């Protein structure tokens, strides 16, 4: 008998792989529109495990060059408003600006919605990567309008940061003040003489504090404007009481180091704010950011703070839908998933890795579906026992601790085939750089296994969540296969729409194309 592995009959018409991934293994290339969407929702223009930042930038520019203004505009807005991304939406806005697109004003208004995004946009435009080194008349006018319409609080928040600083931008575009306070503020910002009496209230209070740093009452300004001078515990306590929810989440260890949590009343107050459902939803926090805050808590941190973050995680994942039938979730725990989810940045890389996010998604699904199977994989499926009653963070931490080895995306599918296990929805979270399971039949092993599973489970659906902008997949997009990118909780909304047939033939791209301008 001939070797059955070489000559076995494959079910149906198996699609042939049309490209290779970074490991030179067979893969399916995304269409230009899908590739751009993937990059917008996963790319941070930093080095990753397989591709450097320059390669990402070159890919975006090349793909965007072949797409129309409308899709670029929709992708930029979707990435910013739904994915909460920063650099990629700013880059697409700059590309539209360089093209002189008529859609630029509406995209600028929705994407460039804070000081950091304004600095990103100006930095990208001035770099010349989009084909010009000047802002141009239209972009200059939009930046001027942003500065003229911003109130004092927004301008003070925007003044934190460099390269370029807000002062640099003011010098570039020369906004025409519309009020006496603006005239004084812009002059003060760029170091020109001004009438301090004309400065707005908070700015005057900031200057007074800088002249007399031991003042008991702190001005109500972004705390980074106050920390050039040493602050007392009482002053740090004031800051903690004023911080916005996201700022509080990001600075828990700083507050602990400065003695704020020696006061039990402050521990109670901060924990109550962190675990406030309404504030969690309003903050639009990434679930992985909560995981980062919880994972990085110092040993001296009161337990109540850690418990509050765990409750906040439960609230942040409340929109994880309930799926019908038998659910299987497969997080990739291979070595390449050790890459920081937002890429390597010199001196500023995120401590949260792709494996942490994959584990978090798996744990979130398990929390909503106690009967779901979790099959982490690397070279093969890794056996792990999880308790769905445990907090999401605990199960995510347990999954993320088993990482290492090569990537074999077909491993969990083969396990299900061997067990003849019933499946209705299979969710795979990976970087899609599978290489250990190269197929001899011109397709990918993942696609071949999926077709076999479909024979036994005709109604089953496959969702591939990609966490990095590599541009290929192991499962070709089709009616029963969804490829979606991103690490915000919005991917769960996309999955829910896919499972309930709310999309057309292009699935996720239909969601992006639904963005109205």
Residue 417 lies inside a defined structural domain of this protein: yes
Residue at which a domain ends, from 316, 349, 371: 316
Q: What is the pLDDT of residue 163?
A: 87
Same structural domain, 239 and 291: yes
Which residues form the domain of 90? Answer: 68-198
Task: Map tokens 């998933």 to a residue.
Answer: 337
Same structural domain, 74 and 106: yes
Residue 264 lies inside a defined structural domain of this protein: yes
Residue 74 lies inside a defined structural domain of this protein: yes
pLDDT in tens, 20-47: 999 999 999 999 999 999 999 998 888 8
pLDDT in tens, 261-274: 999 999 999 999 99
Query: pLDDT class for 286, splitting at 50, 70, 90?
Result: confident
CA gap 154, 166 in Å, rounded:
11
Residue 170 lies inside a defined structural domain of this protein: yes
Q: What is the 3-state secondary structure (H, E, C) of 319-356?
A: CCCCCCCCEEEEEECCHHHHCECCCECCCCCCCCEHHH
Q: What is the pLDDT of residue 6?
A: 40
Same structural domain, 476 and 356: yes
Report the predicted TM-score, pTM, of the whole model to 2 decimal places.
0.92
Residue 206 lies inside a defined structural domain of this protein: no
pLDDT in tens, 490-515: 899 999 999 999 998 889 999 999 99
Same structural domain, 79 and 228: no
Alpha helices (runs of H) in 100-227, residue ranges in sequence order = 104-111, 115-127, 136-149, 152-158, 166-173, 180-189, 201-211
Residue 54 lies inside a defined structural domain of this protein: no
Same structural domain, 383 and 505: yes
Same structural domain, 305 and 407: no
Same structural domain, 127 and 244: no
3-state helix, strand and coil shares in percent for the chain, rounded to the nearest 5:
50, 10, 40
User: How many Cβ atoms sit within 10 Å of the Cβ of residue 301?
Assistant: 18
Q: What is the pLDDT of residue 293?
A: 93
For all residues of the chain together, what is the average pLDDT? Answer: 92
Same structural domain, 273 and 410: no
Same structural domain, 327 and 442: yes
Q: What is the pLDDT of residue 12?
A: 53
Question: Parallel, antiparallel, or unpaired: how do β-strands 373-374 and 481-485 relate?
Answer: unpaired
Same structural domain, 337 and 450: yes
Q: What is the pLDDT of residue 7?
A: 40
Mean pLDDT of 60-69: 96
Residue at which a domain ends, from 316, 331, 361: 316
Residue at which a domain ends, from 273, 292, 316: 316
CA gap 494, 466 in Å, rounded:
13
Residue 8 has pLDDT above 70, yes or no: no
Residue 376 lies inside a defined structural domain of this protein: yes
């Amino acid at each position: 008998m001939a070797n059955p592995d070489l000559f076995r009959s494959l079910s149906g018409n198996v699609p042939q792989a049309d490209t290779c991934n970074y490991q030179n293994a067979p893969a399916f290339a995304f269409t230009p529109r899908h590739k751009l969407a993937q990059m917008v929702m996963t790319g941070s223009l930093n080095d990753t495990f397989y591709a450097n930042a320059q390669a990402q930038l070159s890919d975006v520019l090349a793909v965007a060059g072949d797409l129309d203004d409308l899709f670029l505009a929709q992708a930029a807005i979707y990435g910013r408003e739904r994915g909460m991304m920063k650099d990629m939406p700013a880059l697409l806005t700059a590309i539209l600006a360089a093209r002189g697109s008529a859609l630029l004003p509406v995209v600028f208004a929705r994407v460039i919605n804070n000081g950091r995004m304004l600095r990103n946009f100006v930095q990208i435009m001035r770099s010349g990567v989009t084909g010009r080194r000047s802002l141009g008349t239209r972009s200059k006018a939009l930046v001027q309008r942003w500065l003229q319409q911003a109130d004092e609080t927004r301008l003070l928040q925007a003044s934190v940061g460099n390269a370029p600083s807000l002062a640099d931008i003011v010098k570039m575009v020369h906004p025409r003040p519309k009020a006496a306070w603006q005239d004084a503020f812009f002059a003060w910002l760029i170091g020109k003489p001004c009438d301090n009496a004309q400065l707005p209230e908070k700015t005057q209070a900031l200057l007074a504090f800088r002249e007399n740093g031991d003042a008991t009452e702190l001005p109500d300004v972004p705390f980074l404007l106050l920390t050039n001078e040493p602050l007392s515990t009482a002053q740090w306590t004031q800051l903690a009481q004023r911080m916005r929810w996201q700022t509080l989440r990001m600075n828990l260890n700083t507050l602990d180091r400065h003695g704020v949590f020696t006061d039990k009343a402050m521990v109670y107050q901060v924990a109550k704010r962190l675990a406030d459902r309404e504030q969690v939803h309003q903050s639009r926090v990434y679930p992985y950011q909560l995981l980062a805050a919880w994972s990085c808590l110092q040993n001296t941190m009161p337990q109540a703070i850690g418990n509050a973050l765990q409750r906040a995680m439960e609230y942040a994942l409340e929109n994880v839908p309930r799926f019908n039938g038998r659910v299987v979730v497969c997080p990739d725990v291979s070595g390449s998933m050790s890459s920081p989810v937002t890429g390597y940045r010199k001196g500023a890389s995120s401590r949260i890795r792709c494996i942490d996010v994959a584990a978090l998604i798996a744990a979130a699904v398990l929390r909503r579906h106690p009967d779901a199977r979790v099959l982490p994989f690397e070279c093969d499926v890794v056996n792990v026992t999880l308790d769905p009653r445990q907090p999401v963070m605990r199960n995510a931490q347990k999954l993320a601790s088993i990482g290492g080895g090569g990537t074999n995306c077909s491993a969990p599918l083969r396990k299900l085939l061997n067990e003849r296990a019933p499946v209705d929805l299979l969710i795979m979270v990976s970087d899609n750089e599978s290489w250990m399971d190269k197929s001899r039949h011109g397709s990918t092993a993942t696609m071949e296994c999926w077709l076999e599973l479909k024979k036994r489970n005709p109604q089953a659906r496959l969702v591939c969540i990609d966490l990095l902008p590599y541009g290929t997949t192991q499962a070709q997009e089709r009616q029963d296969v969804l490829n979606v990118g991103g690490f915000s909780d919005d991917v769960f909304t996309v999955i829910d729409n896919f499972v309930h047939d709310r999309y057309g033939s292009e699935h996720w791209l239909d969601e992006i194309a639904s963005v109205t301008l």
